Amino acid sequence: MATTQVTDASFEAEVLKSEDPVVVDFWAEWCGPCKMIAPALEEISEEMNGAVKITKLNIDENQDMAMKYGVRSIPMLILFKDGEPMATQVGAAPKGKLSDWIKSAI
C-alpha cells in the first residue's frame, strides 16, 4: 500500500477516524527535504503495510490542518493513533531513522 493523499476535507475520515495508526507527512511541492524523504516513506509504507497508514498532506493546498497542528517547518511528520497526535518528527531523516521513529510510536 503506497502513501495516500489527504486533504483538509478528508482528514477526519482518513486520519482521525482510522482504526490503524496514521503518519501524516505535512509537505509542499517547493520543499526539497520533503522530496528527499518521499521515496523512503513510500518504501516504509510498503514494508509496514497493515501496521501503519502513511498519508501526505500538501500544506499549500490544505492550510487548515497545518495550522491546527502547528506546522511551522516542513517536512513534519505526525503519527496519529485513535485520532490523537502521538509523536512528531520534524525535518528530513534517513529511511532507517524514519522507520525506527514510526515503529517506536506505534
In tens, the pLDDT along 68-97 reads 999 999 999 999 999 999 999 999 999 999
Identify whether 34 is a catalytic site residue.
yes
d(CA 38, CA 36): 6
- In eight-state DSSP terms, residue 10 is T
Identify whether 84 is a catalytic site residue.
no
- In eight-state DSSP terms, residue 91 is S
In tens, the pLDDT along 25-78 reads 999 999 999 999 999 999 999 999 889 999 999 999 999 999 999 999 999 999
Contact assessment for residue 75 and residue 41, using Cβ atoms and an 8 Å cutoff:
no
Q: Which one is catalytic: 22, 23, 34, 54?
A: 34
Q: Walk me through the domains of the chain, giving residue ranges and CATH numbers.
A: 4-98 (3.40.30.10)
- Enumerate the H helices of 1-106 as residue ranges: 11, 32-47, 63-68, 95-105
